[in-house]
Chain A
Amino acid sequence: MAKHEYSFYPGCSSQKGASSSNYLTSVQTMCEELDIQLNEIPDWNCCAASIGYAGGGELPRLTLSARNIALSEEHNPGQDIVATCAACWLSTREAAERLEEDQSLFAEANEALAEAGLKLKNDTPIKHMAEVLIEDIGYDAIGEKVKKPLEGIKIAGYVGCQTNRPFGIHGESYENPKYLDKLVDTLGGDSLPGYEKKVQCCGGALAFSEPEKSQEMVKGIIEAAYDHGADMIVTPCPVCQMNVEVYQDQINETYGTKFKMPVVYYSTLMAVAYGRSAKDAALDGQVIPAKQLDELAAK
């Protein structure tokens, strides 16, 4: 299999000691297995996610992403940019498209970047890791590597918002994307295609400022997973992962529920299925441990 090489944009939350550092760990393991090389964009900056809008105007926010793309084009020329964080991917790709369609904005962005001695060409494809897996690697290749099928593990595929809309994965629908289910099946697990909350928003943007609002939505997401008999939830988005996993105790407090639903990354599932250690799979990063995976990894 040909080696795949990408210009990698990890994003703030994947940094060491940050909320989705476990995501990064498992992604690195997954990439080793699939022979994917990730070349981090040197000196990348935050994308402002989709919450920077109060302080930052349109152009300043676009310039944030423009800087990352410019850096990538300078240091990792010819490589597609890959992000693992939904928000990073979305902001960067959205910025690229806005600057593409509005040439005056493009000129202004470059004028701003010049201050940092950078220049944006803006001809680099920007992908989410899920796209890489499905479009560049493919289910078959992903399946070939499986050493420990996730037999008997019922997993609800929770896609969330920003990996799904407005771009989403090619050929998938906004209302009922199936790729996480296909992935789970490919890894030998039991997918739950009927899981109806797979694209329900978790309120990530309000998680800090108005937790009661976001937690109400998270409750629905977890409830539905239990209704479908899920052992755990899998997601491609760090905001979703954290939001759905870490507030379960508070939700239990508020609503008198007894939630203890593990929420893992697809990369964690893959690392385990590929027979790697719990550490490589970043299972130690689970606030709510995914027991079946721990056991499987231990075997």
Chain B
Amino acid sequence: MSDTNQAMAEKYRNNFLKEVEANVEEGDWVKMCMQCGVCSGSCPLGKFWEHPPQEIFMMIRAGKRDEVLGSDSMWMCTSCYNCIVRCPRELPITHIMHGLAHYAKRLGLVPGNQPTSKFAQMFWDNLMKKGRVNELKLGMSLYFMNGFGEGVKTALKMKDVGLGMTKTKRMNPMEILGGHAVKDLSGFQKAIKKAQELEDKRIEQHGA
């Protein structure tokens, strides 16, 4: 158990709902769910969810901390916003799912090899480097995220796609060396760093 996880578990002993409200993006909406299940039924990847959103909200209220944060369900979210527009109680479910995923990540509770969590992290790291996403590098690092052998396989599997993209000039091998970037990179990075600090501080106080 990571230290932060330990600390949080301590702090909100037996009140996971409060923990979520304090630490998860849009978490204070969770209490407003009336268990109608429209979100669960609306999710295009619904069948892949071990615990659909409405059930996760109930689990949060029931204090099932580990089951929720350790679940890979919220990583199934494709941000299609079906749940948000249909929710009769106005819960920003997509954001709550992202928030839970992010919080689980912070606490290091994401199940190992959860591919989307890895990809999402890479995406973030990738854009943090240059301020803009480098699709090629992103793709490559993705293919190799499960080690070299795996990577070669995936790369080969994706070869034709890549070829098609290159032919149509929608992918540029040269990108691997450098590629697009924000000019004021330092300013960009400072701003985001600052934002992260502020967020950590807020959560700290909010939770306290």
Give yes or no for direct A-B contact (beta carbon below 8 Å): yes
| Shortest Cβ gap from B196 to chain A (Å) | 5
Hey, which chain A residues are within 8 Å of B138, CB to CB? 208
Mark A92-127 against chain B: 1 for CB-CB distance below 8 A, else 0. 000000000000000011011111111000000000
Does B191 contact A209, Cβ atoms closer than 8 Å? no
**Residues 31-75 of B contacting A (Cβ, < 8 Å):** 44-45, 48
Nearest-Cβ distance from residue A82 to partner chain B, whole angstroms = 18
A60 lies within 8 A of chain B by Cβ: yes
**Closest B residue, CB atoms, query A45:** B131
Tell me, yes or no, whether B18 is within 8 Å of chain A by CB. no
Q: Contacts A55-B120, A55-B125, A58-B99; is A213 near B199 (CB within 8 Å)? A: no
For B45, the chain A residues whose CB sits under 8 A away are: 201, 203, 206, 213
**B86 / chain A contacts, CB cutoff of 8 Å:** 174
Partner of A63, one of B105, B170, B192: B192
Does chain A have a CB within 8 A of B116? Answer: yes
* B199 A162 Cβ-Cβ under 8 A: no
Count chain B CB atoms within 10 A of each CB in A45, A210, A246 and give the residue with the most.
A45
Which residues from 265 to 289 on chain A have a C-beta closer than 8 Å to any C-beta of chain B? Answer: 284-287
**CA gap between A176 and B136 in the complex, in Å:** 35
Q: Main SS of chain B's interface residues? A: helix
Q: Kindly list chain B residues whose C-beta atoms are within 8 Å of the C-beta of A54.
A: 101-102, 105, 116-117, 120-121, 123-124
B195 contacts partner chain A, Cβ-Cβ < 8 Å: yes
A171 near B: Cβ within 8 Å?
no
Chain A residues numbered 189-225 whose CB sits less than 8 Å from any CB in chain B: 200-201, 203-206, 208-210, 213-214, 217
Contact of B102 with A17 in the complex, beta carbons under 8 Å = no
Once the chains bind, are B180 and A43 in contact (CB under 8 Å)? no
Q: Chain B residues near A16 (CB, 8 Å)? A: 172, 180
B170 and A18 form a contact (CB under 8 A): yes
Least CB distance from B129 to A in Å reads 10
CB <8 Å contact, B180 and A161: no
Query: Chain B residues near A116 (CB, 8 Å)?
Result: 184, 187-188, 190-191
Interface residues of B in 78-99 (CB under 8 A from A): 78-82, 84-86, 94, 98-99
Count of interface residues, chain A, beta-carbon cutoff 8 Å: 67
A142 within 8 A of B: no
- Tell me if B21 counts as interface (CB < 8 A to partner A): no
Q: Complex formed: what's the CA distance from A63 to B128 in Å?
A: 12
Q: Is A141 an interface residue, CB under 8 A from the partner?
A: no
Interface centre among A13, A18, A203, A284, by most B CB within 10 Å?
A18
Q: Please, what's the 1-or-0 string for B183-207, where 1 marks a CB less than 8 Å from any CB in chain A?
A: 1100110111111101100100000
Residues of A within 8 A of B191 (CB): 63, 67, 112-113, 115-116, 118
Q: A161 and B102 in contact (CB under 8 A), knowing A115-B191, A166-B85, A285-B168? A: no
Question: B81 and A246: CB pair below 8 A?
Answer: no
* Nearest CB in chain A: distance from B105 CB, A: 5
Minimal Cβ-Cβ distance residue in B for A20:
B170
Q: B172: which of A17, A64, A161 is its contact (CB, 8 Å)? A: A17
**Shortest CB distance B153–A (Å):** 13
Contacts of B183 in A (CB 8 A): 43
Choose from B102, B160, B165, B175 the contact partner of A249 (Cβ within 8 Å): B160
Verify if A257 is at the interface (C-beta below 8 Å from B): no
Q: Which of B25, B45, B128, B192 has the most CB of A within 10 A?
A: B192
Minimum CB distance partner of A94 in chain B: B95
In contact, B199 and A209 (Cβ under 8 angstroms)? no
Contact of A21 among B44, B167, B170, B198 (CB under 8 A): B170
The interface centre, meaning the residue of B77, B133, B172 with most chain A CB atoms within 10 A of its CB, is B133
Alpha-carbon separation in the docked complex, A32 to B25 (Å): 42
User: Judging by beta carbons under 8 Å apart, are A115 and B190 in contact?
Assistant: yes
Q: How many angstroms from the CA of A245 to the CA of B137 in the assembled complex?
A: 21
CA distance A284 to B165 in the complex (A): 11
Taking CB atoms, residues of chain B closer than 8 Å to A206 are 45, 76, 78, 116
Known: A55-B128, A165-B81, A217-B44. 11 other contacts (CB 8 A): A13-B133, A48-B123, A51-B79, A51-B116, A54-B116, A56-B124, A108-B202, A203-B45, A205-B78, A208-B138, A287-B170
| 5 A-B interface contacts by CB (under 8 A) | A55-B123, A60-B196, A62-B195, A165-B82, A209-B119
Binding site for B on A (CB under 8 A): 12-13, 15-22, 43-46, 48-60, 62-64, 67, 108-109, 111-118, 161-162, 165-166, 174, 200-201, 203-206, 208-210, 213-214, 217, 242, 246-247, 249-250, 284-287
**What are the 7 tightest A-B residue pairs by CB atom distance, in nearest-first order?**
A55-B124, A17-B172, A116-B187, A54-B120, A50-B79, A165-B81, A201-B80
